[in-house]
Amino acid sequence: MRKYGFNMLWMFIFDGEVAGKPDRKQLEFIAKRGFNFIRVPTDYHFWTKDYDYLHPNEKAFEVIDSYLQACREFGLHMSLNVHRAPGYCINNNTPERHNLWTDQVAQDGFAFIWEIFAKRYKGISNSELSFDLLNEPPDIGDGGFTRDNHQQVMRRIIQVIRAIDPTRDIVLNGISGGSDAIPELADTGTIHSGRGYTPFTISHYRASWVQFEHDWPEPTYPCMLDGDLWDRDMLLQSYQPWRDVEAKGVRVHIGEFGCYNKTPNDVALAWLTDLLSVYRELKWGYALWNFEGPFGIVRHGRPGAKYELMDGFQIDRALLELLLDNRVQD
């Protein structure tokens, strides 16, 4: 899973409007630089009305078809992710009527989504498409979540997909927001997807959706956190549980990482330099959240950043070069 690229938010933010079209100009820029991976987080509200999970709007799936077609045209692998599923989303769970971890109706709806995708995209090569089942399951105890009920739900979806498309590459996110490894699912033949947001006080400093963001001091790096020195050695050490799972034959990929735009740019770059060098050492692929936005490479807005005009985009060249330099070429 040495795939490198970006998250694209075309069907991520639901505001009652149609989903965004694939941005071909962005995809062309990405492919031109030698990246090969696009993760597409989706929100099931785009195709579901009034929590009727089993009667979707087919037009939304035609939009997803257009994402896949655009990625294929530019030689980019698309990883299709359900970011908001029936009964669960890490960002804001309040719009949900049901609970994915405890309610059968939500679990049936979730299985139905992946059955549709498995049938719709059967025959598409794994080099072009993978299924990323659910973005960032929660912490233990959150909304009745346990490792056991998570494992049951994921195993069911894997079985649903493989009954239709036996060889499809399937991606499982770590729990606790993607950060904790899932050795109990190491036997499923799936790819495991981790995160690069630690220390959170650097990656999400003053992020509006983080409950206690204003209690954090302005970040530095390396830094002391809860009595530990966070530097490159600590970053490497923090991924030991993932390396242990990898030793069982699991492929590991970092499906998201990045730094919000309130962290000073020199701090962000120092931290990202070490983080990406760890991924290079471990030979793991990665996808930045996102391409254009407060975590991206296009005018993200971090204090002190410098930009260079490249193919019509104001690019943080230092960050782009970090992304390019830390790839492992097969």
| Positions of the chain with pLDDT under 70 | 14-18, 212-214, 330
The C-alpha atoms of residue 165 and residue 232 are separated, in whole angstroms, by 41
Residue-range domain boundaries for the chain: 4-325
Among 85, 91, 83, 76, smallest CA distance to 23 is for 76
What CATH number matches the domain at 4-325, 3.40.50.10860, 3.10.450.50, 3.40.50.2300, 3.20.20.80?
3.20.20.80
Q: What is the pLDDT of residue 17?
A: 62
Q: What is the pLDDT of residue 15?
A: 63
Torsion of CA 204, 205, 210, 211, to 10 degrees: 150
Q: What is the pLDDT of residue 93?
A: 82
Terminal C-alpha separation, the chain? 10
Q: What is the pLDDT of residue 208?
A: 83
Type of residue at 205: Y
Q: What is the pLDDT of residue 216?
A: 82
Q: What is the pLDDT of residue 330?
A: 67
Q: What is the pLDDT of residue 210?
A: 80
Query: Is the Cβ–Cβ distance between 298 and 315 less than 8 Å?
Result: yes
Q: What is the pLDDT of residue 263?
A: 96
Q: What is the pLDDT of residue 137?
A: 98
Among 289, 280, 281, smallest CA distance to 203 is for 289
Residue 43 bridge partners (DSSP) = 84
Q: What is the pTM of this model?
A: 0.96
Q: What is the pLDDT of residue 1?
A: 80
